[in-house]
Amino acid sequence: MEEKQIALYHRIMRRENFEAAAKDLFQLLVSAQKKAPNQPRVLYVDIDGHRNAEDGFDRDMFELQKEFLLPYFTEIHFPLYSVVNEKEQNNHIPEGLQISNAENKKDDSLNELYLENYSNTEFM
């Protein structure tokens, strides 16, 4: 007998940014796993607004619709695409969600330079 699937729905409002939407989706996933452990999950997402000049999705919502959530669901249905997870659903959900933006990271390579101890030297 086939196991029942849990349908999860989230609507991203036009005022929500990537971080808020990702956190909401993650909390939805965590909640579903707690209420129905290891049951197959299907995610449905609608997105209000978030359009660019060409009527495509803005950068935040385009990035959100990439497949980073797929391993934790059997299916995902976004406005851009629907996909079925070919692998087994991952039920080992991380304790927290870490969001980082590679474009906004500072170049810290100079911080790693070794500075000699010149305490006995006088600089002018």
19-37 pLDDT, tens digit per residue, is 899 999 999 999 999 999 9
Residue 1 counted as domain residue: no
Specify the number of domains making up the chain.
Answer: 1
Range of the structural domain that residue 57 is part of:
6-94
Residue 108 counted as domain residue: no
With beta carbons less than 8 A apart as the criterion, state whether 3 and 40 touch: yes
Residue 101 counted as domain residue: no
For residue range 70-116, what is the model confidence (pLDDT) as tens digits? Answer: 999 999 999 988 999 999 999 999 888 777 665 555 555 554 554 55
Residue 22 counted as domain residue: yes
Locate 114 and state its tokens.
């070794």
Q: Of 43 and 104, which is predicted with more confidence?
A: 43
Residue 29 counted as domain residue: yes
Residue 120 counted as domain residue: no
- Work out whether the CA dihedral 90, 85, 37, 77 comes out positive or negative: positive
* Average pLDDT over the chain, rounded to an integer: 82
Residue 116 C-alpha from the chain's centroid: 42
Residue 78 counted as domain residue: yes
pTM: 0.74
